Amino acid sequence: MARTIVVTGASAGVGRATVRAFAREGARVGLIARGTDGLEAAKREIEELGGQALVLPADVADADAIENAAAEVERQFGPIDVWVNNAMASVFSPVKEMTAAEYKRVTEVTYLGYVNGTLSALKRMSPRDRGVIIQVGSALAYRGIPLQSAYCAAKHAIQGFCDSLRCELIHDKSNVQLCMVQMPALNTPQFGWVKSRLPRKAQPVPPIYQPEIAADAIVYASHHPRREICVGLPTVVAIAGDKIAPGLLDHYLGNTGYDGQQTSEPADPNRPDNLFKPIAGDHGAHGAFEERAWSVSPQFWATKNRTWLGAAAAVLTVGSLFLISRSER
């Protein structure tokens, strides 16, 4: 049976790749973002892939707009089965050069946008006692890096919000599922439109993965919701490293984090950014790092197949013990 899905930030990047992946399952997808060009293009792609789509231009920072969008999805497509919070905003800048307005805007989109989406999803899912809420996170939800303080803080806030909500769902004995999917560096258009004060063009910290890997993880989480799913070995290493040696990471990132987030090309100080208003046009799912991006993640493959791998490991262990016991007789 076709499911009803809502994805925020659906017009480009991870959101765009995700709605395509859901469309291949024949899903009915509510598309939320500010830019109508990208939303209309995403709608066409979904319909070509066999799904249905509803374009819902809205800013996730506007709680009333998100509530109205959720109501429209259920009016046209029926009960929402999966809600994916993915919309984000960021600024590449040292803290000392940031403004209060920039921090406010990034927080409203990247953190409160998730809160607004979650509230609208819970309002509908809780009475039905079913549904899945997926928060698209990042390794930066655990480990802050230089030049992205507003974004890192927002991702940390989402992590804390999810911990609190998860406890409440357990208390209520609710069957609504909550999953946070922590992402690695991804080849998305955001690095070309995010506001930046860097002297050189911004880039994701290598290794870089294609957004389809993120989409695969989100769709997988919608069928197999876990507390948390990490995507890509660098994500696992960053989270574990911050728990084991945070001070060492402070110094490492202080020495490497500036160059690691910039290419060798000079930035255009006059290019437009999408912090306060969308940039016109259809930007698609992929960014400018096509030749450097990985199309596979062995770590995530292992995560998806961990039950099978665990069973295989158990069989090998038992077989080895059997052979050892035979040889010692």
Active site residue 151: yes
Backbone dihedral angles phi then psi of residue 183, each to the nearest 5 degrees: -100, 155
Query: Position 23: which residue type?
Result: A
Identity of the residue numbered 310? G
Q: H or E element: which one contains 104?
A: helix 100-106
Residue type, 240: A
Would you list the DSSP string of 57-70? E--TT-HHHHHHHH
Instruction: State both tokens at 72.
Output: 């429209």
Task: Supply 304's token pair.
Answer: 């998806």
Q: Are strands 52-57 and 82-85 parallel, antiparallel or unpaired?
A: unpaired
Which one, of 147, 261, 267, 158, lies nearest residue 208 by Cα?
261
Which of the following is catalytic: 111, 142, 151, 220? 151
Per the rule left: phi > 0, alpha: psi between -120 and 50, beta: everything else, 230 is beta
| Identity at 122, one-letter amino acid code | L
C-alpha to C-alpha distance for 260 and 143, rounded to whole angstroms: 15
Catalytic residue set: 151
